[in-house]
Amino acid sequence: MTQSEIQRPQLAPAPTFPLVDLKLSDWKNGVAVRSPNWLGDAVMTLPALNQLKKIIPEHCGLFIVCPPSLKGFYDTLPMVDKIICLTRAHKNWTRSDVKHVNRLHAGICLMFNNSLRDTIFFRLARIARLFGASARGRAVLLSGSFKFPPRKDCELNQLHHAEKYLSMVYSLGAPKWQGEMPAFNIPSLDEAKRNPLVNKVFSSGKLMTLAAGAAYGGSKRWPAESFNQVSRYWIDTGGTVAVLGTAGERDMAQEAIKDLPDGNAFNLAGETSLPELMAVLKYSELCIANDSGIMHLSAALGGSGIAVFGPTDPSATSPVSTRWQVLFEKQDCAPCFKRECPSSSSKCMKAVAPEKVIEIIKGMQ
């Protein structure tokens, strides 16, 4: 199966926008892309970035402007020519930020976030043509704006983020996406095993990875005991489990593998670099995940997995891959998009039984 065949889920089509007439001189030195602030959202821009790269003139560059937390991710993408990390992701730019973006001499900026503040600062950086969603009253500052239907709570919105980003680059003249993801520059399995803990993980049986955390908030987290039950089944069939995440998620990760055999259950939260984490995902058998950046990374790398959704919208942020299955038990209050469950019940996440995940795993083996 080729990478192109792996990545082609049926996504609801986004609105179609008029084609922008771009001349060679409009590009100047290239195009600056303001990334989203979250890893999962950044991964969902990859189909659009892949297509955008195809229409950038040969002498021009693809420049990414992002928060510092995403630099490691964009460092793994050979198609990116330069990365500008903003000093503060959610505050005003510094003079140095403006200067660094100005020195790109980009003629075009494509904004994959909805920030009015960033729009103003891109103007101050003297980028002539700005394009982005017509959000937060900033349309008047944009050379071209894209109006998308507003999100509705407690309903499935049927507009995937990946298609939304693609619709923007189509307007700039990019060809239709055929399912391919850009190449990644990540360690080989042998290189990743130079990390002693990663070496142990891959020496103990077929590997299932877990993404038990979610940076967005606690409402998106499947109960630790549910991860634990699925992990125990996997280990009982001869497998190994590794929980992935940040150092701040280490205690949460430990709960997911509590009382499981030390030689078959590993806590890698905070123990890998991002490229090493990506290598672990790429070479594992399966990933069980919340709606998270790790879920999206695994899908982009061609991995297989099962995603548990509750307070977020699987029609908008499901993995962009046919090798993933999504479990979502619709509740009257879901998707609510709250960081923490308003009722403290987490009933939308608890409605997905671990037995259902185990049943799917059996069908995949």
Look over the chain and give the mean of its residue pLDDT values, rounded to a whole number. Answer: 94
Type of residue at 139: A
Interval 234-280: pLDDT, tens: 999 999 999 999 999 999 999 999 999 999 999 999 999 999 999 99
Are 281 and 350 members of one domain?
A: yes
The answer to whether 97 and 121 have CB atoms below 8 angstroms apart is yes
Whole-structure pTM value: 0.94
Which residue among 118, 143, 171 closes a domain? 171
**Same structural domain for residues 102 and 51?**
yes
Point out the domain boundary residue: 124, 144, 171. Answer: 171
**H-helix or E-strand containing 234?**
helix 224-236
Is 165 among the domain residues?
Answer: yes
Structure tokens at 3: 């990478």
- Tens of pLDDT, residue by residue over 183-238, are 999 999 999 999 999 999 999 889 999 999 888 888 999 999 999 999 999 999 99
Distance CA 280, CA 208 (A): 10
The answer to whether 174 touches 51, Cβ cutoff 8 Å, is yes
CB of 349 within 8 A of CB of 310?
A: yes
Containing structural domain, residue 287: 189-364
Sheet with 108-111, side-by-side order of all strands = 82-85, 61-66, 30-34, 108-111, 129-133, 144-146
Query: Is residue 182 assigned to a domain?
Result: no
CA contacts within 13 A on the Cβ side of 62: 18
The answer as to whether 97 is a domain residue is yes
Whether residue 181 lies inside any domain: the answer is no
- Banded pLDDT at 3 (limits 50, 70, 90): very low
Q: Are residues 264 and 309 in the same domain?
A: yes
The 10s digit of each residue's pLDDT in 57-106 is 999 999 999 999 999 999 999 999 999 999 988 899 999 999 999 999 99
213 in any annotated domain: yes
Residue 119 placed within a domain: yes
Note whether 198 and 144 are same-domain residues: no
Residues 294 and 351 in one domain: yes
**Do 282 and 151 reside in the same domain of the chain?**
no
Are residues 232 and 314 part of one domain? yes
194 and 167 housed in the same domain: no
42 and 130 both lie in a single domain: yes
Whether 280 and 233 share a structural domain: yes
Does any domain span residue 179? no
Q: Are 23 and 55 in contact (CB under 8 A)?
A: no
Domain count, the chain: 2
Kindly state whether residues 73 and 104 are assigned to the same domain: yes
The Cα 93–Cα 121 span in angstroms is 7
Looking at residue 129, which CATH number applies to its domain? 3.40.50.2000
pLDDT class for 158, splitting at 50, 70, 90? Answer: confident
